[in-house]
């Protein structure tokens, strides 16, 4: 599967390597193109997944604030609930299209 922003593939991995949580596809950290994500200071803690790290997504001249997120160290109960360790996996907001 691919995450595409403005026609540019910014993440790519086999579907079996991704994790689907609440309608969002989470990509393994190694599948995200270098330099696309810039850590954001925006704080958020999900009640069941844990502390979230937001990222600004950049592609060419386009910079989208807080349009990607990850859970660097999700709660053990979240990993159990999802059925796979998704530590550090990255999901994208709607401006980034996820396609097969």
User: In which domain, by residue range, is 17 found?
Assistant: 2-99
CB of 50 closer than 8 Å to CB of 75: yes
Distances in Å between the Cα of 16 and the Cα atoms of 13, 22, 79, 82 are 8, 17, 16, 14
How would residue 71 be classed by pLDDT, with cut points 50, 70 and 90?
very high
Is 59's pLDDT higher than 90?
Answer: no
Closest by CA position to 70, among listed 35, 19, 17: 19
In this predicted structure, what is the pLDDT of residue 16? 97
Number of helices (H) and strands (E), helices first, in the chain? 1, 9
Structural domains of the chain, count: 1
Closest by CA position to 52, among listed 63, 64, 37, 40: 40
pLDDT in tens, 20-37: 999 999 999 999 999 999
The enclosing domain of 62 has a CATH number of: 2.170.150.40
Is 62's pLDDT higher than 90?
Answer: no
pLDDT in tens, 72-97: 999 999 999 999 999 999 999 999 99
CB of 69 closer than 8 Å to CB of 46: no
Prediction pTM value: 0.95
């Amino acid at each position: 599967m691919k995450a595409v922003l403005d026609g540019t593939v910014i993440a790519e991995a086999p579907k079996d390597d991704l994790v689907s949580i609440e309608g969002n596809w989470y990509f393994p950290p190694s599948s995200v193109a270098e330099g696309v994500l810039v850590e954001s200071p925006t704080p958020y803690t999900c009640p069941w997944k844990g502390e979230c790290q937001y990222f600004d997504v950049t592609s060419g001249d386009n910079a989208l604030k807080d349009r990607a997120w990850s859970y660097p160290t999700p709660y053990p109960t979240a990993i159990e609930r999802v059925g796979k360790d998704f530590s550090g996996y990255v999901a994208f907001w709607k401006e980034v299209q996820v396609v097969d």
